[in-house]
Amino acid sequence: MLAEKYPEEVKKIFAKYPPENLRSAVMPLLYLAQRGEGFVTKAALEDIAQMLDITSTEVAEIVGFYTLYHDEKAGKYRMQVCTDLPCALRGADKFLEELCGNLGIKVGETTPDGMITVEEVMCLAGCDKAPMFQIQSPDGIAYHENMTVDKTMELVATLRKSGKEVK
């Protein structure tokens, strides 16, 4: 399925790894599989496992561990707020709570218009600039640091209006 949909990309990915280490291609293949739907479907997960001769559980473990891979549909924009200890000390927990309150959703939920999904993540490597988050969209990833709820709601309004990533 993936090899049929993206034959040239799969070929290029496989060319980077020796045949005895093809399992190392799992992450680029997951990224490729996620590109179309915004998440890795169960069928794509099993397809990747078969292509690499590993179990679907091994592929699912990678999807579950890394915040850049997703196993379910979400909003057009995934807003991932870092709340690890250093960020929490700079107000990330309160920021996340107030942001969700302003959006009318809980952490992990998507706004009714289907635009924004808010997720809590650990370590985006910007502790000294918290509260901070990354937005994943079809256009890529953008980091937003030293944020306030008001600035974030302005960003959300811009995203809703334009439908494009704001960097």
102 and 38 share one domain: no
135 and 88 share one domain: yes
Which helix (H) or strand (E) element contains residue 4?
helix 2-5
Note the pLDDT of residue 164: 54
Give the whole-angstrom CA distance, residue 33 versus residue 46: 11
Domain that holds residue 61: 2-65
| Domain CATH code at residue 37 | 1.10.10.1590
In a domain, 70, yes or no: no
Q: Mean pLDDT, to the nearest integer, of 78-99?
A: 96
In a domain, 72, yes or no: no
Q: Among 18, 33, 65, which residue terminates a domain? A: 65
Domain total in the chain: 2
Bin 31: left if φ > 0, else alpha if -120 < ψ < 50, else beta: alpha
Is residue 138 scored above 90 in pLDDT?
A: no
Note the pLDDT of residue 27: 95
Is residue 28 scored above 70 in pLDDT?
A: yes
**What confidence tens digit (pLDDT) does each residue in 101-114 have?**
999 999 999 999 99
- On whether the CB atoms of residues 33 and 13 are closer than 8 A, the answer is no
Is residue 37 scored above 90 in pLDDT?
A: no
3-state secondary structure of 15: helix
61 and 115 share one domain: no
DSSP string, 80-141: EEE-SHHHHHTTHHHHHHHHHHHHT--TT-B-TTS-EEEEEES--S-GGG-S-EEEEETTEE
